A and B are shown apart, each in its own frame.
Chain A
Amino acid sequence: MTSLLAVLIDGSIYASWLFLVAAGLTVIYGVMRILNMAHGSFYAIGAYSAASLIGWYFNNGVGPAWMSYLLLVGAALVAGLIVGVIVERGLLRLMYGRDEILMVIITYALLLILEDTMKIVWGVSPYFAYQPYTELGRTAFGLLKVSNYDLALVGVSALLGVGLWAWLERTNQGKVLRAVIHDREIAVAMGVNVRLMFTITFVLGTTLGALAGALTAPAISVVPGIGIEVIVLAFAVVVIGGLGSIGGAAVGALLVGMSRAAAVHYAPEFELFVIYGVMSLVLAFRPEGLFGRTMARKI
């Protein structure tokens, strides 16, 4: 019984983390048709900005501990905004209209560049920002003690999911964005400023990625290469749910999160295997992912 509870708790924590990471990726793909390989780097940039800011904040004893949570989010927003605008205006804008697969390779080049940029800015030694994590303490579920920070992460993730959904479905801007997703050309003809929508979407995506990194930073040690590990996980989640679908990313995250937690508890040697196993299984039966749209073949 305890182990089942452990799987459920671990699974939902991992799933909420996966959703945070995957949300930005799926938003960008949905609107811009760019499968962004550099998403992991945005995650890493968020983690680095947050970790260095938190480290500075606590080492100098600038203010009360609760402020650090605001700093965490603030660091991610600023970093995501800056990097997003630079990348979209400086690189991607020049590349629009190329093949989807070529865009993958272009963002792969971007990933290589960003990885080293981070090494230049932050060096190669690890950063720690554990204070916000330990500050919140733990909650006991029977024999299990779970960190409150992790539980809060589940809440944040759910909130973010609902917020994104509401923005897309319930606001005017969301409606315009859905029009772009549905048919870019007609949207242009109707007077939608697609270029501006692209910039907004991309910056939103990078900020989400950076936010995921910043929120994860207190729970890990921030070292070079964390983005590389994250990106393939995010791909798996997004592809399972159907590229471009936010609901799909949520379901994909739950599916992967729960299966991984189950694997960790019952068969640890299959931990990594299970993630891609689930992905291959889903794709074998639903090539477009669980919530993806089936595309007609063009002659």
Chain B
Amino acid sequence: MRFDKTEISLALVAIACVLFGFISPGWLIFLLTIALAKALVVQGVVMQMRSGLVSFGQGLFYCIGGYTVGMGGQFFGIHDAIAALALGMAVAIVVAMILGLLLTRYRDIFFAMLSLAFSMILFGILVKSQGLGSTDGFNVHNWTLFGWAPETGADSQQTVFTMTIAAGLLIAILIHRYTKAGIGVICEAVRENEVRVEYLGLSPRWLLYGNYVAAAAVSALGGGLTALATGHVDPEMAYWTTSGEFIFIALLGGLGHVAAPFIAAIVFSVVRTYSIEFVPNTWQMILGFTLLGVIVFLPKGLWSLVSREKSGERT
């Protein structure tokens, strides 16, 4: 297997992050873990955006991932973190395969609204489920990794951090290869003009279907990792404002590069954490103005700042 320049740099950054994790304070590790786990969900949003679909309900799979990991430990005796995460992805894939049959018939705002409706259905079910803690959700703890049980606190925080980095690296490389492959390039063609792609003898619908299912799996992984990191899941994960946050991060980063969602998620988490601390009643307003600013001045996201510099060097 050969690795290109992007993949090698991604791997180097990942290793640097893991090493950085040993010396940095706990709160920073926690913040980064949550940011990177959310970035995985955003990768799912971005995958669909590249083909022109904006999902206002990616929280559905975020929530499925989180709840499956939690329920696996609570009710089915699946304590191994990797197995629980895999189970979460499997459940998300099954759900996405069913919902995808319906959703891939829709485009634009109809896709956005219908995906939003499905995540709200899950929210509605979870809020009314007494056994799952209703609106409070429940705690996720006592998980193990290949039979080894990390102590709660710094030890487990460190482990989740490393796991999130590993998962992020793996997914980033896979998505990078996917976008460079023929089928990934066609996704952009579907966004530009679907009917012409059909004339080429391809089925945009099945392409979008595959994309939707893959995005669901990636998002569920992000949800599962969030559950492990915070030790808690609640129905808010499926609420539509959570999905709005993912779209926010996706637009902030832009579709230019596989690393963009990770950077955007970290920027978003830092800005959000500090805004909530210093201006608790105006942080949403700051987000709103930032979003407008990004749409108007940086339509290709933060990544365009980086790539613009590069193309300048070449000429």
Residues of A within 8 A of B (CB): 35, 91, 94, 100-102, 104-106, 108-113, 115-117, 119-120, 124, 228, 232, 235-236, 239, 243, 268-273, 275-277, 279-280, 283-284, 287-288, 297-299
Query: CB within 8 A of A116: which of B108, B196, B285, B296?
Result: B285
Main SS class of interface, B: helix
In the assembled complex, the Cα of A102 lies from the Cα of B287 at a distance in Å of 16
Known A116-B283, A228-B241; contact A283-B118, beta-carbon cutoff 8 A: no
- Nearest Cβ on chain A to B63's Cβ, whole angstroms: 14
The answer to whether A112 and B288 touch across the interface, beta carbons within 8 angstroms, is yes
Known A116-B284, A119-B281, A287-B110; contact A271-B195, beta-carbon cutoff 8 A: no
The answer to whether A106 and B295 touch across the interface, beta carbons within 8 angstroms, is yes
The answer to whether A104 and B289 touch across the interface, beta carbons within 8 angstroms, is no
One digit per residue, 1 when the CB lies within 8 angstroms of any chain A CB and 0 when it does not, for chain B 116-129 equals 11101101110110
Task: Tell me which residues across on chain A come within 8 A of B118, comparing CB atoms.
Answer: 276, 280
Tell me which residues from 104 to 138 in chain B have a Cβ below 8 Å from any Cβ of chain A.
105-106, 108-110, 112-114, 116-118, 120-121, 123-125, 127-128
- Cβ of B6 within 8 Å of any chain A Cβ, yes or no, is no
The answer to whether B124 and A272 touch across the interface, beta carbons within 8 angstroms, is yes
Task: Tell me which residues across on chain A come within 8 A of B295, comparing CB atoms.
Answer: 102, 105-106, 109
- Nearest Cβ on chain B to A298's Cβ, whole angstroms: 8
The answer to whether A272 and B123 touch across the interface, beta carbons within 8 angstroms, is yes
The answer to whether B247 and A105 touch across the interface, beta carbons within 8 angstroms, is yes
In the assembled complex, the Cα of A235 lies from the Cα of B117 at a distance in Å of 9
The answer to whether A113 and B106 touch across the interface, beta carbons within 8 angstroms, is no
Tell me which residues from 221 to 263 in chain B have a Cβ below 8 Å from any Cβ of chain A.
240-241, 244, 247, 251
The answer to whether B288 and A271 touch across the interface, beta carbons within 8 angstroms, is no
- Nearest Cβ on chain A to B259's Cβ, whole angstroms: 22
Task: Tell me which residues across on chain A come within 8 A of B296, comparing CB atoms.
Answer: 94
The answer to whether B288 and A283 touch across the interface, beta carbons within 8 angstroms, is no
Task: Tell me which residues across on chain B come within 8 A of A110, comparing CB atoms.
Answer: 288
- Cβ of B32 within 8 Å of any chain A Cβ, yes or no, is no
In the assembled complex, the Cα of A268 lies from the Cα of B291 at a distance in Å of 39
- Nearest Cβ on chain B to A106's Cβ, whole angstroms: 6
The answer to whether A106 and B292 touch across the interface, beta carbons within 8 angstroms, is yes
In the assembled complex, the Cα of A24 lies from the Cα of B120 at a distance in Å of 22
The answer to whether A115 and B284 touch across the interface, beta carbons within 8 angstroms, is yes
Task: Tell me which residues across on chain A come within 8 A of B251, comparing CB atoms.
Answer: 105
Main SS class of interface, A: helix
- Cβ of B193 within 8 Å of any chain A Cβ, yes or no, is yes
In the assembled complex, the Cα of A279 lies from the Cα of B247 at a distance in Å of 23
Query: CB within 8 A of B284: which of A106, A113, A232, A298?
Result: A113
7 tightest A-B CB contacts, nearest first = A272-B124, A112-B288, A113-B288, A116-B285, A109-B291, A276-B117, A112-B284
- Nearest Cβ on chain B to A244's Cβ, whole angstroms: 11
Q: Tell me the nearest residue of chain B to A117, going by C-beta.
A: B285
- Cβ of B102 within 8 Å of any chain A Cβ, yes or no, is yes
Count of chain B residues near A, Cβ 8 A: 42
The answer to whether A116 and B112 touch across the interface, beta carbons within 8 angstroms, is no
Task: Tell me which residues across on chain A come within 8 A of B196, comparing CB atoms.
Answer: 299
Q: Tell me the nearest residue of chain A to B119, going by C-beta.
A: A276
- Cβ of B273 within 8 Å of any chain A Cβ, yes or no, is no
The answer to whether B108 and A101 touch across the interface, beta carbons within 8 angstroms, is yes
Q: Tell me the nearest residue of chain B to A280, going by C-beta.
A: B117
- Nearest Cβ on chain A to B160's Cβ, whole angstroms: 30
Q: Tell me the nearest residue of chain A to B194, going by C-beta.
A: A297
- 20 CB-based A-B contacts, threshold 8 Å: A101-B54, A102-B295, A104-B56, A104-B109, A104-B112, A105-B54, A109-B289, A110-B288, A112-B288, A232-B120, A239-B110, A270-B128, A272-B120, A273-B124, A276-B118, A276-B121, A279-B117, A280-B118, A283-B106, A299-B195
Task: Tell me which residues across on chain B come within 8 A of A277, comparing CB atoms.
Answer: 121
The answer to whether B105 and A287 touch across the interface, beta carbons within 8 angstroms, is yes
The answer to whether B281 and A100 touch across the interface, beta carbons within 8 angstroms, is no
Task: Tell me which residues across on chain A come within 8 A of B123, comparing CB atoms.
Answer: 272
In the assembled complex, the Cα of A277 lies from the Cα of B121 at a distance in Å of 7
Contacts A106-B295, A112-B285, A272-B124 known; 15 new A-B pairs at CB < 8 A: A35-B109, A109-B295, A115-B284, A116-B285, A239-B113, A269-B128, A272-B123, A273-B124, A276-B118, A276-B120, A280-B102, A280-B121, A283-B110, A284-B102, A287-B110
Task: Tell me which residues across on chain A come within 8 A of B285, comparing CB atoms.
Answer: 112-113, 115-117
- Cβ of B282 within 8 Å of any chain A Cβ, yes or no, is yes
Task: Tell me which residues across on chain A come within 8 A of B194, comparing CB atoms.
Answer: 297
Task: Tell me which residues across on chain A come within 8 A of B281, comparing CB atoms.
Answer: 116, 119-120, 124
Q: Tell me the nearest residue of chain A to B193, going by C-beta.
A: A299
- Nearest Cβ on chain B to A243's Cβ, whole angstroms: 8
In the assembled complex, the Cα of A280 lies from the Cα of B120 at a distance in Å of 11
Q: Tell me the nearest residue of chain B to A106, going by C-beta.
A: B295
In the assembled complex, the Cα of A102 lies from the Cα of B118 at a distance in Å of 21
Task: Tell me which residues across on chain A come within 8 A of B289, comparing CB atoms.
Answer: 109, 113
In the assembled complex, the Cα of A268 lies from the Cα of B127 at a distance in Å of 12
The answer to whether A271 and B108 touch across the interface, beta carbons within 8 angstroms, is no
Known A102-B295, A280-B121; contact A120-B240, beta-carbon cutoff 8 A: no
Q: From B116, B128, B285, name the one whose CB has the most chain A CB atoms within 10 angstroms.
A: B285
- Nearest Cβ on chain A to B1's Cβ, whole angstroms: 37
The answer to whether B292 and A109 touch across the interface, beta carbons within 8 angstroms, is yes
In the assembled complex, the Cα of A201 lies from the Cα of B289 at a distance in Å of 25
Task: Tell me which residues across on chain B come within 8 A of A279, comparing CB atoms.
Answer: 114, 117
Q: Tell me the nearest residue of chain A to B53, going by C-beta.
A: A101
